[in-house]
Amino acid sequence: MYLLTVKDGLVTRHIGPYSSPKHASDDLERVLNTCTERARWQIHALESPRKRSFSDRIQQREHAFTAAAS
């Protein structure tokens, strides 16, 4: 599954899900017609949570945040 993310100024819109990146890009023109010319967009692949094991998710969470004191 894929998600279309459009940033237009301070507003971020998430549109989808789409079954393929082609479907998302086909819908892009319709979505951009409602935005300003400076809007930026990306197509993201959604990750299925079942593809990763529980221990992998815990390990990634532990490494996601690092803090340093000075």
Ordered DSSP codes for 13-59: EEEEEESSHHHHHHHHHHHHTTS-TT-EEEEEEPPPGGGS-HHHHHH
Q: Which two tokens stand for residue 49?
A: 């949570």
pLDDT of residue 12 exceeding 90: yes
In a domain, 58, yes or no: yes
Is 42 among the domain residues? yes
Strand 2-8 and strand 11-18: pairing? antiparallel
Residue at 69 is within a domain: no
Integer Cα distance of 39 and 35 in angstroms: 6
* pLDDT tens track for 29-51: 899 999 999 999 999 888 766 66
pLDDT of residue 58: 81
Domain count of the chain?
A: 1
Residue 70 belongs to a domain: no
Residue 19 lies in a domain: yes
Query: Does the residue 16 lie in any domain?
Result: yes
Whole domain around residue 55: which residue ranges?
A: 2-64
Domain membership flag for residue 6: yes
State yes or no: pLDDT of 69 exceeds 70.
no
Query: What pLDDT, on a 0 to 100 scale, did the predictor assign at position 6?
Result: 93
